[in-house]
A and B are shown apart, each in its own frame.
Chain A
């Protein structure tokens, strides 16, 4: 039952092949068995899940329908869930039970989804390997000695191990695409503003965006359909109507111009990964798409610009964690200063503190122009590169990550090596563009992801390209064969 794809579940429920309670119980048991090994979930909501599954079954019995009604999913643990602990992978919020839900959570619930639990993640979404979580690292179901990627590593591992057919995730610099790539999944980061950030715990406000991780483009289309759309509670939410993503999936690719940026095939790219990506591009070409050379000359600067902007924004976003109104508070503070410094120093992990310090430094008197202002100027150059590229291409394609999943500890000792994991994904965040990763092959038994970047609000086109690709390939159906 756990092998059924997300898009097929509603049909099976409709045909009474199994009930929502049955598949939910099955997955809960699987999660409970697997979590000791994978550590993909921080919180498992058995009771809540069974309750909403029963409600979904009752609704379906009463004539209600819907492609997600009764479908179990998992939420990344930075989406606030009313009454259900939301930790953001941090000791700081280790016991935090929000009195409200994120818009994404509300919309998934309104579509009838059942929440199995909250998935593990890098602390405050800062990381590319899921090694910075206060709740311990997540293991990659393809090889448990390796990382699942990050920061949405728990969501990716859960879906790859068939613990959940789909999960929500967020992407500030690659946190959907890179773990999707490392776990052999399909994941989409929407256009900045397409999915509401309300109730999504902020890392870097001008970069954060939500999206689904699932097995296929068709699965992702259903989930995005549910969560996309205007929300008056988010000032940066886009007011444009949401197209029907599912109905666009099958459009033929003939004549589609796929831009291939030469900068994405640099010496940092693993040869095996490059070969897989090039083969994937050839498949798209075979379906009638045209490959065109494009250049994104400023993309090598996306990493330095990102590591100013994201830490700067996070340094302010994380100031609210002060031990006063919620969250971790140190024991017996002697004065206000002590309360702040100890609560924050004990509540945050090393990588989070490092980024807060870098961001504080970049914004401090005398450095603002050289760092923050400079980074925002580079950001414009990067956005401008894309604007020009989209004059000759409809979609841009390249690798999602430089290589396949790496071993624990391999990169965590050197922050900069870790930061380069996101070298191909960061630019889309800086420019606010929709981007996704789809499985494009295996190298030494580990998945490789192909990244697709679209122009603003072109999620439908990205899903269409990925779906057509998945009609002709079976990489997305490969399972790590993880035994729970």
Chain B
């Protein structure tokens, strides 16, 4: 399977990756090659195979409902790129 530049643009937008217009053709070709390699999977009939999401055949462990974390806001805000008044700041969110 190949991918068109338009499709690539849509996917890049979903992933919030901005493509450099100069390299779009090259990126499209490389990704098309990868998808072509991946397509080798289609040769195998898997209609009767259930998907395997985890290598472990076990079940989720449940945690007791206890508050174990303390307030470390200052430690976390110290590594934030932009913060003020205890908040993380981002360009204005419009709804």
Asked whether any CB of A lies within 8 Å of a CB of B in the complex, the reply is: yes
Which residues does A use to contact B, with CB under 8 Å? 96-97, 99, 192-193, 206-207, 232, 235-236, 238-239, 298, 300-301, 303-305, 307-308, 315, 319, 322-329, 333-342, 344-345, 348, 353-354, 356-358, 360-362, 364, 370-371, 373-381, 383, 415-416, 419, 429-433
What are the 8 A-B residue pairs with the smallest beta carbon separation, nearest first? A432-B55, A376-B51, A377-B46, A329-B81, A380-B52, A341-B18, A340-B16, A377-B49
In the complex, chain B residues whose CB is within 8 Å of the CB of A342 = 18
B52 near A383: Cβ-Cβ < 8 Å: yes
**Do A193 and B56 touch across chains, with their CB atoms under 8 A apart?**
yes
Can you list 10 residue pairs at the A/B interface with Cβ under 8 Å?
Answer: A192-B56, A206-B54, A206-B55, A207-B55, A307-B37, A335-B91, A353-B17, A354-B31, A370-B42, A416-B34
In angstroms, Cα B58 to Cα A239, docked, is 10
- The closest CB in chain B to the CB of A95 belongs to B79
Docked Cα-Cα span, A97 to B31, in Å, equals 33
A326 contacts which chain B residues (CB < 8 A)? 76, 79-81
Interface contact B38-A360, CB-CB below 8 Å: no
Collect the chain A residues with CB atoms within 8 Å of residue B12's CB: 357, 360
Q: Are A345 and B17 in contact (CB under 8 A)?
A: yes
- Bound complex: CA A340 to CA B34 (Å): 26
* Distance (whole angstroms) from the CB of B81 to the closest CB of chain A: 4
- Whole-angstrom CA separation of A431 from B55 in the bound complex: 5
Q: Is B60 an interface residue (CB 8 A)?
A: yes
Are A304 and B39 closer than 8 Å at their CB atoms?
yes
Distance in Å: Cβ of B91 to nearest Cβ of chain A: 5
Indicate whether A304 sits within 8 Å of B37 (C-beta atoms), given known contacts A335-B92, A360-B14, A381-B46: yes
B80: chain A residues within 8 A (beta carbon): 324-326
CA distance A308 to B49 in the complex (A): 17
A324-B81, A358-B31, A373-B51 known; A339-B8 Cβ under 8 A = no
Task: Decide if B14 touches A376 in the complex (CB within 8 Å).
Answer: no
A contact face: mostly helix, strand, loop, or mixed = helix
B87 → A minimal CB distance (Å) = 11
> Which chain B residues border A430 with CB–CB below 8 Å?
55
With contacts A236-B56, A238-B56, A307-B37 taken as known, whether A357 is within 8 angstroms of B8 at the C-beta atoms is yes
**Nearest B residue to A311 by beta-carbon distance?**
B34
* Chain A proximity of B65: nearest CB distance (Å): 14
Q: Are A361 and B37 in contact (CB under 8 A)?
A: no
Q: Which of A308, A361, A380 contacts B50 (CB 8 A)?
A: A380
- Given A326-B80, A338-B91, answer yes or no on A304-B38 (Cβ-Cβ < 8 Å): yes
Contact B40 A304 (CB under 8 A): yes
Residues from chain A with a CB closer than 8 A to the CB of B14 are 360, 364
| Known contacts A97-B79, A415-B33, A206 near B53 by CB under 8 Å | yes
User: Quick check: is B82 within 8 A (CB to CB) of the other chain?
Assistant: yes
CB of B75 within 8 A of CB of A339, answer no
Max count, chain B CB within 10 A of own CB: residue among A97, A333, A342, A357: A357
Asked if B90 CB lies within 8 Å of chain A CBs, one says yes
Residue among B18, B35, B78 having the largest count of chain A Cβ atoms under 10 Å: B18
- Known interface pairs A358-B34, A377-B51; A301-B79 also in contact (CB < 8 Å): no
- Smallest distance from the beta carbon of A360 to chain B beta carbons, Å? 4
Cα A370 to Cα B35 with chains together (Å): 11
Does B72 contact A99, Cβ atoms closer than 8 Å?
A: yes
B37 to chain A, nearest CB (A): 5
With A307-B37, A354-B31 as known contacts, state yes or no: A336 contacts B90, CB within 8 Å: yes
Q: A193-B56, A383-B55, A432-B55 are in contact. Are A356 and B49 (CB under 8 A)?
A: no
Q: Give complex CA distance A151, B47 in Å.
A: 35
The distance from the CB of B68 to the nearest CB of chain A, in whole angstroms, is 10
Who on chain B is nearest to A346 by CB?
B18
Residue B56 contacts which of A305, A357, A360, A432 (CB distance < 8 angstroms)? A432
Query: What is the CA–CA distance of A360 and B61 in the complex, to the nearest angstrom?
Result: 29
Pair A307/B38 contact, Cβ less than 8 Å? yes
Q: Which of B57-95 contact A (CB under 8 A)?
A: 58, 60-61, 63, 72, 75-76, 78-82, 88, 90-93
Alpha-carbon gap, A378 to B18, bound state (A): 32
Least Cβ–Cβ distance between A230 and chain B, in angstroms: 10
Residue contact A360 to B46, C-beta cutoff 8 Å: no
Contact A378 B44 (CB under 8 A): yes
Which residue on chain A has the smallest CB distance to residue B56? A193
Please tell me if the beta carbons of B38 and A380 are within 8 angstroms of each other in the complex.
no
- Say whether B33 contacts A315, CB under 8 Å: no
Residues of the A chain whose Cβ atoms lie less than 8 Å from the Cβ of B90: 324, 336, 339
Chain A residues lying within 8 Å of B79, measured Cβ to Cβ, are 96-97, 99, 325-326
Q: Is the CB of B39 within 8 A of A379?
A: no
Q: Min CB distance, A340 to chain B, in Å? A: 4
Residues of A within 8 A of B60 (CB): 235
Q: Are B51 and A336 in contact (CB under 8 A)?
A: no
Closest chain-B Cβ to A316's Cβ sits at a distance in Å of 10
What CA separation (Å) do A319 and B30 show in the bound complex?
A: 22
Given contacts A324-B90, A377-B49, contact A364 B11 (CB under 8 A): yes
Q: Which residues of chain B are within 8 angstroms of A325 by Cβ–Cβ distance?
A: 76, 79-80, 88
Contact partners of B35 in chain A: CB under 8 A: 358, 361
